[in-house]
């Protein structure tokens, strides 16, 4: 028995993703069989000769998150949400990477086809800065000190000029 399933889209292109931000997309597993099947999803870093020209190996597969197991009912489709998140570091800006998502039936038989989705990720030139906690804390301390100073000097001024 040969497997009767397909996956779409076959290629996903994410352009100008600023480091520090994330992008999400859906992929669909089409189960054309009369029984339900469980599919295993993994990442695969293709060899340089298999990648598109100008694309480097994806630095860290943990930046791509998705459910690693999906069940598709008989003659139906299963939607899978995939998220790509690049850390907020300047060294990841202006890069072009490629990684593949592999979809394989859990029950392996003699003629099992692995489907691969080509994921092309290009990062933007600008890093998306997260909240700078040091700056936020410094501003909060500054406001507290300013408030205390105003209170202190007002009390001191009242003490010098008592009301009669």
List pLDDT tens digits, range 75-114: 999 999 999 999 999 999 999 999 999 999 888 765 667 8
CA distance 101 to 44: 6
Least Cα distance to 57 among 18, 19, 96, 88 occurs for 96
pLDDT of residue 107: 81
CA distance 146 to 123: 42
* Contact criterion met (CB below 8 Å) for 29 and 78: yes
SS3 state of residue 104? strand
End-to-end CA distance of the chain: 103
The model's pTM: 0.73
CA distance 157 to 101: 71
Does position 144 have pLDDT exceeding 80, yes or no? Answer: no
Top pLDDT among 48 and 150 is at 48
* Contact criterion met (CB below 8 Å) for 46 and 119: no
Question: Picking from 5-14, 67-76, 105-114, 119-128, which range would have the lowest pLDDT averaged per residue?
Answer: 105-114
Top pLDDT among 17 and 150 is at 17
pLDDT of residue 36: 92
The size of the chain, in residues, is 164
């Amino acid at each position: 028995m040969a497997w009767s399933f397909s996956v779409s889209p076959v290629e996903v292109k994410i352009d100008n993703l600023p480091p520090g931000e994330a992008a999400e997309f859906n992929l669909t597993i089409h189960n054309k069989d009369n029984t339900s099947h469980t599919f295993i999803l993994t990442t695969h870093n293709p060899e340089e000769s298999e990648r598109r020209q100008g694309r480097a190996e994806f630095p860290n597969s943990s930046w791509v998150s998705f459910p690693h197991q999906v069940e598709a009912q008989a003659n139906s489709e299963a939607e899978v949400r995939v998220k790509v998140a690049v850390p907020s570091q300047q060294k990841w800006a202006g890069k072009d990477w490629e990684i593949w998502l592999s979809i394989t039936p859990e029950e392996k038989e003699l003629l099992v086809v692995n489907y691969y989705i080509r994921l092309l990720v290009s990062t933007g030139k600008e890093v998306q800065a997260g909240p700078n906690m040091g700056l936020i804390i410094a501003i909060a301390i500054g406001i507290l000190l300013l408030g205390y100073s105003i209170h202190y000097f007002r009390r001191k001024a009242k003490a010098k000029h008592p009301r009669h």
